[in-house]
Amino acid sequence: MATVTRPSPKEVWDWLSHVPDPEIPVISLTDLGIIRDVAWDDDTLVVTVTPTYSGCPATAVINLDIEKALRERGIEKLKLKRQISPAWTTDWISEAGRDKLRAYGIAPPIDGTAADGRLMGRVNRMTGGNLTVPCPRCGSTHTTKVSQFGSTPCKASYRCDDCLEPFDYFKCI
């Protein structure tokens, strides 16, 4: 039986860092923080992935992209494992990922501002119920929330009141 050299998990992580998110292709799956583990189980490579939002239609595409990328690298036995706990949080988006989002025109999440259901306290903390999200284009903090939900479940719609550019905010979860 031929001994095939197995790539180390570190190497696999590196490959996955080049797989783009299907909906926001400027950031990779590792930037997004959804790859939870890479490990060998005997001769099978097990990649553990956590979904962003439970209904996110990108989930199936992400699994396929992972499979495609790893098959191209010669991985034959592959298992994708879904893990929902601990639940994904935008805190796991890397610093590099945040910079890439900003450069792409999406305001990155502001940590610690996730909705928690404590409505009245939250409204008081944020002037007029609006979280101050700096415009990714001109940097102005003079912005207005247009809608709690944007082009995907993970984003909210904002408008810059200075440069008038509409933009997406990757909301905190």
Binding site for another protein (CB under 8 A): 46, 49, 51, 53-57, 59-61, 63-64, 67, 79-89, 114-117, 119-120, 122, 129, 146-153, 157, 171, 173
Report the distance separating Cα 149 and Cα 143, nearest Å. 16
Omega before residue 166 within 30° of 0, cis: no
Minimum distance from residue 9 beta carbon to another protein (Å): 17
- Pair 169, 155: CB distance under 8 Å: yes
| Structure tokens given for 45 | 């490579």
CA-CA-CA-CA dihedral for 116, 119, 123, 124, to nearest 10: -100
Smaller CB distance to another protein: residue 94 or 152?
A: 152
Smaller CB distance to another protein: residue 25 or 129?
A: 129
Minimum distance from residue 63 beta carbon to another protein (Å): 5
Smaller CB distance to another protein: residue 119 or 138?
A: 119
Report the distance separating Cα 98 and Cα 31, nearest Å. 8
Minimum distance from residue 39 beta carbon to another protein (Å): 12
